[in-house]
Amino acid sequence: MAAKKKAAKKAVKAAPATNRVKAIAEPMTKTQIISQISENSGLTKKDVGKVFDELTDIMEGHLKKRGVGHFTLPGIMKVVTQKKPATKARKGTNPFTGQETTFAAKPARTVVKIRPLKKLKDFAQ
How would residue 16 be classed by pLDDT, with cut points 50, 70 and 90?
low
- Give pLDDT, residue 124: 85
- Asked whether residue 43 is domain-assigned, the answer is yes
Dmax (CA) of the chain: 87
pLDDT of residue 10 exceeding 60: no
How would residue 9 be classed by pLDDT, with cut points 50, 70 and 90?
low
pTM for the whole thing? 0.69
- Asked whether residue 94 is domain-assigned, the answer is no
The torsion angles phi and psi of 108, rounded to 5 degrees, stand at -65, 145
What domain range includes position 80? 39-84+109-125
- Asked whether residue 23 is domain-assigned, the answer is no
pLDDT of residue 11 exceeding 60: no
Question: Is 34 buried (19+), middle (13-18) or exposed (0-12) by CB count in 10 A?
Answer: buried
Structural domains in the chain (count):
1
- Asked whether residue 21 is domain-assigned, the answer is no
How would residue 95 be classed by pLDDT, with cut points 50, 70 and 90?
confident
- Helices 30-41, 45-63: inter-axial angle, 10-degree rounding: 120
The CATH number covering residue 73 comes to 4.10.520.10
- Asked whether residue 65 is domain-assigned, the answer is yes
Q: Which helix (H) or strand (E) holds 67?
A: none
pLDDT of residue 27 exceeding 80: yes
- Asked whether residue 59 is domain-assigned, the answer is yes
Any alpha helices (H) in the chain, and if so which ranges? 2-13, 30-41, 45-63, 118-123
pLDDT of residue 2 exceeding 70: no
pLDDT digits (tens, 9 = 90+) for 54-82: 999 999 999 999 999 999 999 899 999 99
- Asked whether residue 16 is domain-assigned, the answer is no
Please answer whether residues 28 and 36 qualify as being in contact, where contact means their C-beta atoms are separated by less than 8 angstroms: yes
- Asked whether residue 51 is domain-assigned, the answer is yes
Q: How far apart are CA 114 and CA 80, in angstroms?
A: 6
Pairwise pLDDT comparison (124 vs 17), residue with the higher score: 124
